[in-house]
């Protein structure tokens, strides 16, 4: 017969009264703790989701088992990948106002121009309008003064700048804006939640058409030409005493330069247009500290009617009662929020429209992007319970082994022979010294192997028990 390679252990009870209650109580406590600890790592999986607000997604995914002391497994922590902002991208902010195009990406630390940058929903900071331009273009050869329709090809553009914080440090973004025909497109102009945006969009349209109407009424001096074919007015952020420059070309392809500037009304109207555009862009990009015509009631009154403009005073070309212009309503009237077809003069707009509007507000803004996030999602109940149960069994087995090692160490320290089984102790082994055992009437292993065979082994064991009290005791010292 082949001798078995495998063995089995012999056991004996621990000689401690406290062992059983300790095992039961601590086993239950450890099972509960292990269950809590394993909920995150074995009861959930990371599910990919797309979101426009990674901060809210991360906050909503923070569960109790992700906090101390149960957050030992960080692999199941919700995380989001940054989005990429590249030159040429079109984007908008969380204020849901204007739409921008990225013109340049500049790293502040070394003034290095980057093609793109990783962005993770950080607020945009220090946003302002760098410049604005009114590009005026005539579509016919009508002599001045003419009808406003002659300038319907006109458009406006602007450049703004913002700073964002990225993993490469602070980065400056240059963002471009462009409007055709004076219609400023915004994403959300709800009168309750985005009242400032509504006012800005409507008033910018009025003052753009004010520029067009004033251009159509300019009387060109003799010898210059019959009409003006094209013109451009540039407004630069106030970094010097002069914040605008301009040029106009006549039908004879000559630049108009007269001693008496006939374009002053146009430039004044254009300057107010730029103030409104600056105000709208600032609140849309979250710059709530800069002066703004759309965030204060008194400033809003001035924004509606520019009292510094001679063209909008009584008797001026853009006075709301004027009737000597060709269709001036688009520059001097505004539609009601709930009924855009019903028009009202700007001079009456604040008193009649403001009570129907929400508050003038501004808040920090971020660039709206899509983010890929990995969020912990609970497994099916049955799968989760099986996973937690199997993991708990592994941990409890490890805790049981550790308790056995500690208990055996205590027994060795107290002099108990841990390597003697309970059956041998019942048969007569007793401690004499730490390394000496006393054997009462127990035959040697070799003798037992020759005498205890077959069916006689059980009978000899019974006889040894019966004669134990009558035979003399022999001592055998085993070292």
pLDDT digits (tens, 9 = 90+) for 329-359: 888 899 999 888 888 999 899 999 999 899 9
Three-class DSSP category at 315: coil
pLDDT at 476: 36
Q: Please give the average per-residue pLDDT across 177-198, as a whole number.
A: 89
Write the DSSP string, 197-236.
HHHHHHHHHHHHHHHHHHHHT--PPTTT-S-EEEEEEEEE
Beta partners for residue 117, in sequence order = 85
CA dist., res. 319 & res. 341, Å (int) = 21
> pLDDT for 285-306, tens place per residue?
999 988 899 999 999 999 999 8
Higher model confidence: residue 150 or residue 72?
A: 150
Of 117-131, 242-256, 297-311, 400-414, which gets the smallest average pLDDT? Answer: 242-256
Task: Inform me whether the pLDDT recorded for 41 exceeds 60.
Answer: yes
Comparison of pLDDT for 312 and 239, the residue scoring more = 312
> How far is the C-alpha of 46 from the C-alpha of 36, rounded, in Å?
18
* Higher per-residue confidence, 66 vs 307: 307
Local confidence band at 471 (pLDDT 50, 70, 90 cut-offs): very low
- Given pLDDT bands bounded at 50, 70 and 90, which one contains residue 253? low
Q: Where are the domains of the chain?
A: 19-78+372-412, 87-369, 420-449+473-479
> Counting beta carbons within 10 angstroms of the beta carbon of residue 451, is it exposed (0 to 12), middle (13 to 18) or buried (19 or more)?
exposed
**pLDDT for res 228:** 81
Neighbours of 132 (CB within 10 A): 25
pLDDT band for position 440 (cuts 50, 70, 90):
very low
Instruction: Out of 37-51, 365-379, 401-415, 438-452, pick the least confident.
Output: 438-452
Gap between the Cα atoms of 191 and 366, Å rounded: 22
pLDDT in tens, 221-245: 777 777 788 888 888 877 554 556 7
pLDDT at 360: 92
pLDDT of residue 97: 93
pLDDT bracket for residue 202 (50, 70, 90)? very high
Confidence of residue 458 (pLDDT cuts 50, 70, 90): very low
Q: Output the DSSP codes for 164-208.
A: EEETTEEEEEEEEEEEETT----S---TTT-HHHHHHHHHHHHHH
Percent of the chain topping pLDDT 70: 77
- pLDDT for 138: 87
pTM beyond cutoff 0.75: no
pLDDT band at 177 (very low <50, low <70, confident <90, very high): very high
Cα angle 434, 437, 439; round to 5: 170
Please determine, for residue 470, whether its predicted confidence score (pLDDT) is greater than 80.
no
Residues in a beta bridge with 106: 113, 172
Burial of 90 from C-beta contacts in 10 A (0-12 / 13-18 / 19+): exposed
Mean pLDDT of 171-195: 90
pLDDT at 277: 93
Residue 61 is predicted with a pLDDT of 67
Q: Which residues are CB-contacts of 176 (< 8 A; sequence separation ≥ 6)?
A: 100, 101, 102, 103, 157, 158, 159, 160
The better pLDDT of the pair 151, 462 is held by: 151
User: CB 344: neighbour CB atoms within 10 A?
Assistant: 15
Decide which of 12 and 186 is more confident.
186
Top-ranked range on mean pLDDT: pick from 216-230, 414-428, 450-464: 216-230
pLDDT of residue 352: 93
With 60 as the cut, is the pLDDT of residue 99 above it?
A: yes
SS3 372: strand
| Inter-helix orientation angle 297-304/346-353, to 10° | 150
Please tell me the predicted confidence (pLDDT) of residue 459. 47
């Amino acid at each position: 017969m082949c001798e078995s390679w495998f063995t089995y252990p012999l056991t004996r009870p621990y000689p401690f009264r406290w062992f059983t209650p300790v095992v039961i109580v601590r086993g239950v406590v450890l099972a509960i703790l292990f269950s809590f600890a394993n909920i995150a790592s074995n009861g959930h999986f990371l599910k990919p989701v797309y979101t426009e607000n990674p901060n809210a997604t991360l906050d909503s995914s923070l569960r109790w088992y992700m906090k101390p002391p149960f957050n030992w497994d960080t692999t199941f922590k919700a995380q989001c990948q940054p989005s990429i902002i590249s030159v040429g991208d079109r984007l908008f902010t969380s204020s849901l106002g204007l739409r921008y195009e990225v013109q340049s990406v500049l790293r502040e630390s070394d003034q290095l121009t980057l093609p793109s940058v990783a962005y993770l929903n950080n607020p945009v900071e220090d946003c302002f309008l760098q410049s604005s331009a009114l590009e005026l273009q005539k579509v016919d050869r009508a002599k001045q003064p003419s009808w406003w329709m002659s300038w319907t090809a006109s458009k406006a553009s602007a450049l703004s700048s913002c700073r964002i914080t990225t993993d490469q440090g602070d980065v400056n973004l240059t963002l471009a804006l462009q409007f055709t025909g004076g219609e400023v497109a915004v994403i959300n102009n709800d009168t309750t939640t985005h009242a400032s945006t509504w006012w800005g969009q409507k008033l910018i349209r009025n003052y753009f058409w004010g520029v067009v109407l004033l251009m159509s009424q300019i009387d060109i001096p003799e010898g210059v030409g019959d009409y003006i074919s094209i013109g451009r007015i540039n407004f630069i952020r106030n970094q010097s005493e002069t914040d605008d420059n301009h040029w106009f070309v006549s039908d004879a392809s000559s630049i108009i330069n007269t001693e008496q500037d006939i374009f002053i009304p146009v430039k004044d109207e254009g300057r107010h247009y730029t103030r409104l555009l600056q105000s709208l862009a600032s609140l849309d990009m979250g710059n709530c500290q800069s002066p703004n015509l759309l965030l204060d009631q008194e400033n809003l009154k001035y924004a509606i009617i520019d009292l510094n403009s001679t063209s909008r005073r009584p008797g001026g070309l853009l006075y709301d009662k004027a009737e000597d212009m060709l269709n001036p309503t688009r520059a001097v009237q505004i539609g009601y929020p709930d009924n855009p077809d019903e028009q009202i003069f700007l001079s009456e707009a604040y008193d009649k429209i403001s009570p129907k509007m929400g508050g003038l507000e501004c808040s920090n803004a971020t660039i709206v992007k899509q983010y890929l996030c990995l969020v912990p999602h609970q497994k099916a109940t049955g799968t989760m319970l099986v996973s937690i149960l199997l993991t708990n069994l592994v941990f409890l087995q490890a805790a049981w082994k550790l308790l056995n090692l500690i208990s055996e160490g205590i027994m060795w320290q107290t002099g108990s022979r841990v390597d003697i089984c309970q059956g041998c102790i019942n048969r007569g082994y007793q401690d004499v010294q730490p390394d000496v055992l006393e054997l009462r009437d127990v035959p040697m292993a070799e003798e037992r192997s020759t005498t205890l065979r077959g069916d006689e082994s059980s009978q000899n064991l019974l006889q040894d028990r019966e004669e134990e009290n009558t035979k003399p005791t022999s001592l055998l010292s085993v070292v």
